[in-house]
A = this chain, B = another copy of it.
Amino acid sequence: MHGYATSGLERWLDRLRMRSDLTDADVDTLRKLPFETREVSSNRDFVRMGEQTTHACLVVTGLVGRFGQTASGQRQITALAIPGDMVDLHSVVVPKASSALQALTATTILRVSHAALQEASEGSDTIARAFWRDCVADAMILAEWVQSVGRRDARGRLSHLLCELALRNGAIGNDPRAFPMAATQLQLADTTGLTSVHVNRTMRRLHADKVVDVVERQVRIHDWDALASAGDFNPNYLHLSPAVLDPLIERLKAG
């Protein structure tokens, strides 16, 4: 997206700045955050539930899920993090993990210490506000998921999720009509509160209806209007500025 974006931090900074005004000094501070890079292979927890964490994790490439688990072993994904997302920025203020983080595919993360993040936030009101706001944005996605899982049928849930991922991918510079999505149908099931069998049948139907497609770990949206209407999708909750949102919708409709 930007020529200088060699470090994975840059994409995160871009995202932060989409939501919050940061001063040049702020950006400078954040660019200088120390981190260590880590490769996580598919289906591996890199934060376990209950663990006392000391670092937050920024996704550079790949896909990360936050997992809850029921006593009977049923799994539920409560958040998906794509590149540019700091999966657990919240851990700076609540370090004890109340759910596990797992890579859904081979993933590169940057670990940034809570101490450094806290120092940055205490050194600048605008950074503090940006971090707070980012956590609130995550909460709004969660609220939307509650609604989706609570009140939409299988087709609606999957459509809604794919709409969300399209815009979130678009916001980080991917093509909103065709973007990487490494989750398996089982993982999609754990995200939407369905069974992998039912996800399979529903995706198959969406494909047959020429609405969306997942081929080779890539989502391809063929009919945005149909998808958005099936998912009853209203992008407000993502709080993207018109400058970001409008061109994305335009591209999606052009599809």
Counting every copy of the chain, the complex holds: 2
Q: CA of A74 to CA of B147 in the docked complex: distance in angstroms?
A: 9
CB distance from A223 to the nearest CB of B (A): 17
Chain A 86-143 residues near chain B, CB threshold 8 A: 90, 93-94, 96, 98-99, 121-122, 125, 128-129, 131-133, 135-140, 142-143
Residue contact B90 to A239, C-beta cutoff 8 Å: no
Chain A 204-255 residues near chain B, CB threshold 8 A: 232, 236-237, 239
Q: CA of A132 to CA of B236 in the docked complex: distance in angstroms?
A: 22
Q: What residues of B have a CB within 8 angstroms of the CB of A68 in the complex? A: 143-144, 146-147, 151
Q: Indicate whether A76 reaches chain B with its CB closer than 8 angstroms.
A: yes
Residue contact A128 to B132, C-beta cutoff 8 Å: yes
| Contact A98-B237, Cβ < 8 Å, known A143-B68, A193-B149 | yes
Q: Indicate whether A55 reaches chain B with its CB closer than 8 angstroms.
A: no
Q: Indicate whether A79 reaches chain B with its CB closer than 8 angstroms.
A: yes
CB distance from A168 to the nearest CB of B (A): 16
Residue contact B239 to A143, C-beta cutoff 8 Å: no
Q: Indicate whether A11 reaches chain B with its CB closer than 8 angstroms.
A: no
Q: CA of A96 to CA of B236 in the docked complex: distance in angstroms?
A: 9
Residue contact B146 to A76, C-beta cutoff 8 Å: yes
| Contact A93-B132, Cβ < 8 Å, known A50-B236, A147-B78 | yes
Q: CA of A142 to CA of B148 in the docked complex: distance in angstroms?
A: 13
Residue contact B146 to A98, C-beta cutoff 8 Å: no
Q: CA of A65 to CA of B188 in the docked complex: distance in angstroms?
A: 29
Residue contact B135 to A72, C-beta cutoff 8 Å: no
Residue contact A150 to B192, C-beta cutoff 8 Å: yes
Q: Indicate whether A152 reaches chain B with its CB closer than 8 angstroms.
A: yes
Residue contact A90 to B139, C-beta cutoff 8 Å: yes
CB distance from A52 to the nearest CB of B (A): 12
Q: Indicate whether A71 reaches chain B with its CB closer than 8 angstroms.
A: yes
Q: What residues of B have a CB within 8 angstroms of the CB of A193 in the complex? A: 146, 149-151
Interface residues of A (CB under 8 A from B): 50, 66, 68, 70-72, 74-76, 78-79, 90, 93-94, 96, 98-99, 121-122, 125, 128-129, 131-133, 135-140, 142-147, 149-152, 192-193, 232, 236-237, 239
Report, nearest first, the 7 A-B pairs whose CB atoms are least far apart.
A150-B193, A139-B139, A68-B147, A142-B142, A93-B133, A78-B143, A76-B147
